[in-house]
Structure 1
Amino acid sequence: MISPRTLRNLKKELSHSVLAKAGIVVVVFMVAMAIFAPLVAPYSPGQQNLDQAREPPLGFTTKETKEVTKTENGSVVIENGQVVTENQTVYNNATLAHPLGTDGNGRDILSRVIYGARTSMLVGLLGTALAALIGVTVGLSAGYYRGRVDDALMRTADIMLAFPSLILAVALVGVWGQAAFRIPDPFVATGFTEWWRGLVGLSAGPMPGDIVLPGTVIVVVALVNWVWFARVSRGEALSVREEEYVKAAKALGANDSRVLGRHVLPNAITPILVLATVQVAAIILLESALSFLGLSGASVSWGFDIALGRQYQSTSWWISAIPGIAIVLTVIGLNLVGDWLRDALDPGIDGEGGV
């Protein structure tokens, strides 16, 4: 449980920091989008309409030159047995039906950004949880037992740090493949989505019935990032193991697992919690990079959509830019929340985020 003192520190830092409030709003908004995607997305993320391809976002108009069939008095002009064509300037105007525009296949970008939040948040949260489980176990063991155990575990961590994260992740995905698991979406499976969308007037088209979980990517990002948790938790364990209450527990006959679980871990949780918040942001960036390279296994992801928009950069910038903006906002929001937690949970550090 959170102690009253910790709650007071959290509230105090939050009341003094506008940036912390903004970060919480962004994170809560992104998480809510991910959870309630079938209920708030205007369309299914895979629904195509080629007649509405590359519509710009609201407030923008684009023009392009297209080759069209030449007609005179309503008849097609034919010369030397061939249909005559001519260049024509076509204007694409924004519509309320697609407030953030459409991609090259006419899919609604707002819907894809909403569903992309589900993929990124799942990978970020589950990948961080798995990385923390591995790293904290390794770090606490190394710091508590020291000696040969410490040397063996931390030299392994040093070897992991020698490899660039993205390159190591790409190599691991290449070895294990792109395993993706499908979990039934509870909103769709229970029929609540159809009822809700009819109630609020959203499109009645079928929504994806499954939540795609990129299993390989979650494991890979955890294996790439566990080292940071190991280093932080080891340092805390080295300090806490010398405290009098730990020595007293051991003198009373408590075994190592009990000492680690009841005394060392609770007193080392503050920096681990702050690190976890920052690592969620780092893992979202790594997942986006893997998706951009086509290695995620998920067809709806912010990084994947950025890659799809590369060929339209000169004419339809929003296809790549809007998912990129979603990534930037999410990462900034998580970092601001991490700064808030750091300032509130570690009184020895002067806050720098207050405005």
Structure 2
Amino acid sequence: MISERTLRNLRRELSRSVLAKIGIVVVVLILAMAIFAPFISPYSPMKQTLDNARQPPLGFSTQETKEVTLMENGSVVIENGQVQTEEQTVYTNATLAHPLGTDANGRDILSRVIYGARTSILVGLFGTTLAALIGVTVGLSAGFYRGRVDDVLMRGADIMLAFPSLVLAIALVGVWGQAKVAIPDPFVVTGISGAFRSALGLSTNMPKDIILPGTVILVVALVNWVWFARVARGEALSIRQEEYVKAARALGASDGRTMLRHVLPNAITPILVLATIQVAAIILLESALSFLGFSGASVSWGFDIALGRQYQSTAWWISTMPGLAIVVTVIGLNLVGDWLRDALDPGIEGEGGV
């Protein structure tokens, strides 16, 4: 349960910081977009319409020079046994039907950005939770027992830190392969979103499953647990010297009970702050793995950036729009993390209000 003092600190820091308010609004909007994707997505993210391929976003238009067959009186012009062609400039204008444009296969980019939020947010949350469970367990044990236990556990953490995160993640995915986990979409399976979209005259053919890259979730947790372990260890080293911990042990409380009931609750503040920041870091790592083709998810911001690489000169929006989604999400999460740090750990100098 959150104490009244903590709530006061949160409210005070929020009232002083414009950046914190912006961060909360951004995070809430991204979460709402991910949760209610079947309701707000204009189309299915997998729907292809080749006639609308590479359509620009609102406010932009494109021109492309194409070589077309030369026709005369409805017949193909042939000279010296060869079909004659000519170059024509084709102009493509934006439409309200696709406000962020379409990709090379005619898929609506806005729909893919909305559904891509699901993959990134869920990988960030699940990966951070798993990393925290591993790291906090290791860190509390190392700080509480000290001595040989501390040396063995933290030397293992140091070995993990010696490897670049992305390289280690790629190696682990290469060893374990791409395991996909299909989670039924409750809104689609129950027909709630279908009825809503049908009432508005929208397409009801939405994906029935949320496809998560299971291997990536496990990999990002194994790559990032070290940071939780270091923070938890530092807190445990300090808290174990407190009188209430000594009193609990003197009354016969087991080590496990002492750590769960006395050490962990008093070490949770910096862990929560770190978790908020780690969600953003894991989203970036997942996007990098998707960009390199190691994720296995077919609807992901990083995957869509990779799809648009070859069209940078003619259809820049294919990569730019999911890239902007990553930037906005990570900035929002970092702003929320700064707010939590300033409110929950006043001993650390923050950026202050704006």
Q: TM-score, normalised by structure 2?
A: 0.99
- Given that 1:68 and 1:85 are in contact with CA atoms closer than 8 Å, whether structure 2 keeps it comes out as yes
Per-residue deviation, 1:257: 0.8
- Given that 1:339 and 1:353 are in contact with CA atoms closer than 8 Å, whether structure 2 keeps it comes out as no
Identify unmatched segments of 5+ residues in structure 1: none
Question: 1:143 and 2:136 equivalent?
Answer: no
**1:115-264 → structure 2 map (5 Å cutoff):** 115-202=115-202, 204-264=203-263
Per-residue deviation, 1:7: 0.5
Moved more, 65-74 or 16-25: 65-74
- Given that 1:19 and 1:353 are in contact with CA atoms closer than 8 Å, whether structure 2 keeps it comes out as no
Write the letter of the residue equivalent to 2:227: W
Whole-Å Cα distance in 2 between the matches of residues 86 and 262 of structure 1?
79
Per-residue deviation, 1:74: 3.3
Per-residue deviation, 1:30: 0.8
User: Cα deviations across residues 117-161 of structure 1 (Å, max 9, x unaligned)?
Assistant: 000001000000000000000000000000000000000000000
Question: 1:278 and 2:288 equivalent?
Answer: no
- Given that 1:185 and 1:209 are in contact with CA atoms closer than 8 Å, whether structure 2 keeps it comes out as yes
Whole-Å Cα distance in 1 between the matches of residues 336 and 177 of structure 2?
34
Corresponding residue for 1:344? Answer: 343
Write the letter of the residue equivalent to 1:260: M
Whole-Å Cα distance in 1 between the matches of residues 2 and 121 of structure 2?
25
- Given that 1:56 and 1:100 are in contact with CA atoms closer than 8 Å, whether structure 2 keeps it comes out as yes
Corresponding residue for 1:57? Answer: 57
- Given that 2:198 and 2:204 are in contact with CA atoms closer than 8 Å, whether structure 1 keeps it comes out as no
Give the 3 Å change call, closer, same or farther, for CA 208–353 of structure 1 in structure 2: farther
User: Cα deviations across residues 202-241 of structure 1 (Å, max 9, x unaligned)?
Assistant: 3x14111101111100000000000000000000000000
SS in structure 2 at match of 1:107 = coil
Corresponding residue for 1:326? Answer: 325
Whole-Å Cα distance in 2 between the matches of residues 77 and 263 of structure 1?
87
Write the letter of the residue equivalent to 1:4: E
What is the aligned length?
Answer: 354
Per-residue deviation, 1:351: 2.7
**1:23-62 → structure 2 map (5 Å cutoff):** 23-62=23-62
Task: Find runs of 4+ consecutive structure 1 residues off by over 4 angstroms.
Answer: none
Whole-Å Cα distance in 1 between the matches of residues 183 and 334 of structure 2?
30
Per-residue deviation, 1:83: 2.4
Whole-Å Cα distance in 1 between the matches of residues 245 and 340 of structure 2?
26
Whole-Å Cα distance in 2 between the matches of residues 215 and 6 of structure 1?
36
Whole-Å Cα distance in 2 between the matches of residues 141 and 113 of structure 1?
41
Corresponding residue for 1:77? Answer: 77
Per-residue deviation, 1:85: 1.4
Write the letter of the residue equivalent to 2:350: G
User: Cα deviations across residues 65-98 of structure 1 (Å, max 9, x unaligned)?
Assistant: 1111112233322223332211110111000000
Write the letter of the residue equivalent to 2:228: F
Write the letter of the residue equivalent to 1:7: L
Percent of pairs identical after alignment?
Answer: 81
Whole-Å Cα distance in 1 between the matches of residues 57 and 352 of structure 2?
33
User: Cα deviations across residues 7-33 of structure 1 (Å, max 9, x unaligned)?
Assistant: 010011011111001001111111111
- Given that 2:197 and 2:204 are in contact with CA atoms closer than 8 Å, whether structure 1 keeps it comes out as no
Whole-Å Cα distance in 2 between the matches of residues 318 and 353 of structure 1?
36
- Given that 1:20 and 1:353 are in contact with CA atoms closer than 8 Å, whether structure 2 keeps it comes out as no
Per-residue deviation, 1:253: 1.0
- Given that 1:140 and 1:230 are in contact with CA atoms closer than 8 Å, whether structure 2 keeps it comes out as yes
SS in structure 1 at match of 2:199 = helix
Moved more, 328-337 or 344-353: 344-353
Question: 1:89 and 2:106 equivalent?
Answer: no
- Given that 2:54 and 2:103 are in contact with CA atoms closer than 8 Å, whether structure 1 keeps it comes out as yes
Whole-Å Cα distance in 1 between the matches of residues 231 and 86 of structure 2?
67
- Given that 1:78 and 1:84 are in contact with CA atoms closer than 8 Å, whether structure 2 keeps it comes out as yes
Q: TM-score, normalised by structure 1?
A: 0.98
